[in-house]
A and B are shown apart, each in its own frame.
Chain A
Amino acid sequence: MSESKRPVDKGESDSGDRTTIRYLAPGDLSLSRSAGGFLQATVDGRELPRVFVHQAFPLSMPNEYISVRDDEQKEIGIIRRLDEMDQTVQELIESELSRRYFAPIVEKVNSLKEEFGYLYWDVMTSSGDRRFTQQAKPETILGAGDQELIVIDIDENRFRLPRYRTLLGRFARTLDPIL
């Protein structure tokens, strides 16, 4: 019984050069907000009415390798390190990223209870007070760095828990079986 010998070619292709990475230096990119509230950019003198930013490593390196894309989702370039960019660019990108990856930071855990395989949280977050439910399964927790956890609730909302051991305090034990 033979094996298939050729890799499968799938999906659309594009004639443009997709193999070279272009890094955007501070001078290459200027950003501003449109009247409608979206990001617009000027790159190499070219005006782009709307750009999108994606983190390549949202969990492990949130502030590095940020892909800047045009309206058609074609990559314009990658920002190697956000902190090397101008202050305005940094601020605009950070606020844009917080829209794209909405994960409020948990500041205080009021209570955490486990019942029948679900964890019921009551927390104070950077976005306000919140109660949410998480399925008590390891897949609902992402590790981001040594100290930080991201908890995904049953609606796929995400919550960041920096220095989670300290933050959880006596509730650490409740979360422990799925860590």
Chain B
Amino acid sequence: MSEQSKRAEPITQIEAGGDGPVRLSLSTGMDADGAYGDTALHLTDASLVRTEAGSISLELAYSDLTSARLMARTGNSILEVETNEGPVLVARVTNEARQESARFLKALKSAIDGRLHIVAAEEDRTNCPTCGRPIPAGTDVCPICVRRSGVLRRLAAVTRPYVGLVVAIVVLFLVRTGLQLAVPWITGQLVDNVLLQDGAVGRELLPWVAAIFAAMISTEGIRAFRGFLTVKMGSGIARSLRLTVYSKLQALSLGFLSRYKTGDLLNRVNRDTQQLERFLRFAAVEGAAHVVLMVAVAVIIFVSNWRLGLLLLIPIPAVFAFFAALRSQLRWMYRKQGTLWDRTNSLLQDILSGMRVVKAFGREEREIGRFRGSSDALRDVMIRNEKVWNTLIPLVSLVIGAGTFVVYFFGGRLILQGELALGELVQFGLYAGMLYGPLAWVSGIPRAYNEAVVSAARIYNVIDREPEVRESAGAQSVTIDGAVEFDDVSFGYHSHEPVLEGVTMRVAPGEMIGLVGHSGAGKSTIINLVLRLYDPDEGVIKIDGVDLREIRLESLRSQIGVVLQESFLFSGSIAENIAYAKPDASPHEIIQAAKVAQAHDFITAFPDGYDTRVGERGQRLSGGERQRVAIARAVLHDPRILILDEATSAVDSETEEKIQEAISKLIANRTTIAIAHRLSTLRKANRLVVLKEGRVAEVGTHGELMDEGGIYAGLVRAQREMAGATGT
């Protein structure tokens, strides 16, 4: 990792000037002109100090400051303070120092407010503690330094339930190796004892040939059976791993999950487990078989003729090097091909899902052209790769055959000199083939091993993860009445970007609260916190006076219902979707819920009624239909606290009316927290809470807030004008 991002050494006293000991320091990683360098900020008891290359370049007393903020820019952030004489740029901060700078900013703000308070540093997960390199995003594992032995030991533990299978595989494999080794020996005997014997008759060939035949048949039979056992073991292990990862993912908080791309998590469940399975099957079992075979062959060769044996060994390093080079070349070729495949695929997916737009704008030709370009590039690379491949394969065969040439040349000379029997030479030639064959295999093992260790580490990284939202030991099941309380709550999805700051609000049981504010003001975050998808960084959220963290998660969430902006339906029937939270609901209950949600009429109009398959993500239903199915789901769930997030955002006014009606039935006697951009949809709210930049700016009824003439009044006015302008 870059030296620049390391934390500034805490210095106890700033040399020239400064006042008192330094309480907190931050290495910004760069100076104001954008050069990487030794710029640091320090908080003393009375002032903010900037040093460059060790000497003070700025000093501002907290008493002269009114506020401080960190503005994220592309590739860097800017820390600025507001003074009585206007804003001052204090420092520019590199992206690696972002997390530390958020902590620094928090402390600075507290100092400006009159009491310097430093929160404990979060664990630095960005750098590998061993090699210092940055740990790639989306994983906590340094691919270079991952403890291979530890990972392997754990992997071995996973194979424990399959120990019977493993033993069977090993035994079969030893038997097979023995049989394989026997074939050249029998062949040698055949040559020397029958073919070269004067007066031998054809009948004498039979037992030898039959023995070779029997050995070969048994070898292949054992191979087939062992293959079957290996698949059984590998897929069993992969299944256990997949299930473990998947269960863990279900348990982990959204905070963890949202940091990873869906694809990355999918990969951990699918690709990484598959990679391990392949490693266990091919590298561990087959590879071990090849290694043992090679060693056994080498021993036999040396025992029978050590001089020929030595000759055989000479090309081995070269062969190894050749295969290693070949592998890296092939890997490079196929990575390029893989990238082009992905690109062509996503282009196709993009165009197919946007087909309506393509047709509406008459851009078919252009899209065909784009796809052609991508396909052509893919074709060219494939042709080139195949060319290389087809040139290399004969070379590989030649190299593998190299040992045999050596044997025949030198062995032939020994025969001519009368020092070696022909049968021995034949036997030697066959063993030489067996020695070189597995080399191709063995040279690939280090890479397969490394990849498997990284996959295993990625998997264990999920399995070992402690959920951020954890159930405390004394958590209780409660029956919720519906009072929700936020007490000085601060929260950010990333520690360097606070989304809510010091939010305090109280919602009475049965009350409907409307959350209002611009995009990014923190409305959805409040909802995420009520659902306890995340825990606040500071402050407490209570339900009926009980800290959320002391309520069992299952108990909490089973009593909260949500209707989200983008109603997510699972692939399945409408009935199954409505009964999602209550799978044992009777048809009567399902219909009742649909009726409340104003969904019954359109559902029964479908040819398949409640059995209608909604398609992946419910795509066969319109936005308004999906929304009402989601409302029916919430009705059937019968929650004590209801959360409506933009429930009417995706529908026309007629449908909106229906949804409003459905909602008004749903909210009766329930605590409801609703978000809507269309402020008219909040008219049933008892009170409105207006958020601005993560803080509560206004609270009151529609009338009160209109009289106040603040943010809310401005928003309402603007929407009315907009509605007037668009004629809606």
Contacts and interface: CB of A to CB of B under 8 A. Distances in A.
Given A12-B715, A130-B2, A177-B335, A157 B95 contact: yes
A153 B336 CA distance: 20
Nearest to B126: A155
A166 interface: no
A57 interface: no
A9 B137 CA distance: 36
Contacts of A98: 34
Interface in A98-134: 98-104, 115-118, 120, 125, 127-133
Contacts of A129: 36
Contacts of A50: 86-87
B30 A127 contact: yes
Majority-rule SS of B interface residues: mixed
A143 interface: no
A138 to B, nearest CB: 6
Interface residues of A, number: 54
B277 interface: no
11 contacts: A2-B624, A6-B728, A12-B718, A100-B74, A115-B143, A115-B144, A116-B143, A117-B136, A127-B30, A135-B136, A157-B76
A49 to B, nearest CB: 7
B538 to A, nearest CB: 26
A9 B722 contact: yes
Interface stretch (A20-28, A30-38, A74-82, A84-92): A30-38
Interface stretch (B199-207, B212-220, B650-658): B650-658
Contact of A37 (B88, B143, B650): B88
Given A3-B622, A138-B343, A154-B134, A103 B75 contact: yes
Interface in A132-167: 132-133, 135, 138, 153-158
A98 B30 CA distance: 13
Contacts of B498: none
Contact of B336 (A6, A38, A120, A177): A177
A37 B622 contact: no
Interface in B692-728: 715, 717-719, 721-722, 726, 728
A130 B74 CA distance: 18
Interface string B67-92: 00000011110101001011111001
Contact of B35 (A9, A14, A99, A127): A127
Contacts of B518: 11-12
A133 B94 CA distance: 15
B451 interface: yes
A56 to B, nearest CB: 14
Interface in B397-421: none
Majority-rule SS of A interface residues: loop
Interface of A: 1-6, 8-15, 34-38, 49-50, 58, 98-104, 115-118, 120, 125, 127-133, 135, 138, 153-158, 173, 176-178
A65 B143 CA distance: 43
A103 B37 CA distance: 16
B678 interface: yes
A8 B721 CA distance: 16
A151 to B, nearest CB: 11
Contacts of A15: 717-718, 721
Given A36-B87, A37-B88, A156-B75, A128 B35 contact: yes
B73 A99 contact: yes
B74 A4 contact: no
Nearest to A4: B623
Contacts of B143: 115-118
Nearest to A138: B339
Nearest to A130: B2
Contacts of A14: 718
A50 to B, nearest CB: 7
Q: Which 5 A-B pairs have the closest CB atoms?
A: A37-B89, A102-B75, A128-B36, A36-B88, A177-B335
Interface in B649-678: 649-653, 655, 677-678
Contacts of B715: 12
B454 interface: yes
Q: Count chain A CB atoms within 10 A of each CB in B74, B76, B338, B649 and give the residue with the most.
A: B74
Contacts of B621: 1
A99 B2 contact: no
Interface of B: 1-2, 4, 30, 32, 34-37, 73-76, 78, 80, 83, 85-89, 92, 94-96, 98, 126, 133-134, 136-137, 143-144, 332, 335-336, 338-339, 342-343, 450-451, 454, 518-519, 606, 620-625, 649-653, 655, 677-678, 715, 717-719, 721-722, 726, 728
Contact of B718 (A3, A13, A37, A132): A13
B722 A36 contact: no
B92 to A, nearest CB: 7
A34 B143 CA distance: 47
Contacts of B606: 1
Given A98-B34, A102-B73, A4 B650 contact: yes
Given A9-B722, A102-B76, A102-B92, A35 B134 contact: no
A178 B653 CA distance: 48
A13 B721 CA distance: 9
A10 B75 contact: no
Contacts of A178: 335, 339
Contact of A99 (B92, B620, B719): B92
A132 B2 contact: yes
Contact of B86 (A49, A102, A103): A49
Contacts of B454: 116
A116 to B, nearest CB: 4
A3 B650 CA distance: 10
Nearest to A5: B652
A36 B85 contact: yes
A101 B136 contact: no
Nearest to B92: A99
Contacts of A120: 133
A5 B336 CA distance: 44
Contacts of B35: 127-128
B142 to A, nearest CB: 10
B89 A128 contact: no
Nearest to A178: B339
B652 A6 contact: yes
Contacts of A135: 136-137
Given A4-B623, A38-B86, 14 more contacts: A6-B653, A9-B678, A15-B717, A36-B87, A38-B80, A50-B87, A100-B74, A102-B75, A102-B76, A115-B144, A116-B451, A127-B30, A138-B339, A138-B343
A8 B728 CA distance: 12
A104 B134 contact: no
A31 to B, nearest CB: 16
Contacts of A132: 2, 134
B69 to A, nearest CB: 13
Contacts of A102: 30, 34, 73-76, 92
B625 to A, nearest CB: 6
B722 A13 contact: yes
Nearest to B134: A133
B652 A177 contact: no
A53 to B, nearest CB: 12
Given A15-B718, A99-B73, A102-B92, A1 B83 contact: no
A171 B466 CA distance: 40
Q: Count chain B CB atoms within 10 A of each CB in A3, A10, A102, A130 and give the residue with the most.
A: A102
B87 A131 contact: no
A99 B34 contact: yes
A67 B143 CA distance: 43
A36 B80 CA distance: 9
A14 B718 CA distance: 6
A55 B2 CA distance: 29
A20 B226 CA distance: 75
Contacts of A130: 2, 4, 36
Contacts of A49: 86
A38 B79 CA distance: 12
Contacts of A8: 649-650
Contacts of B94: 155, 157
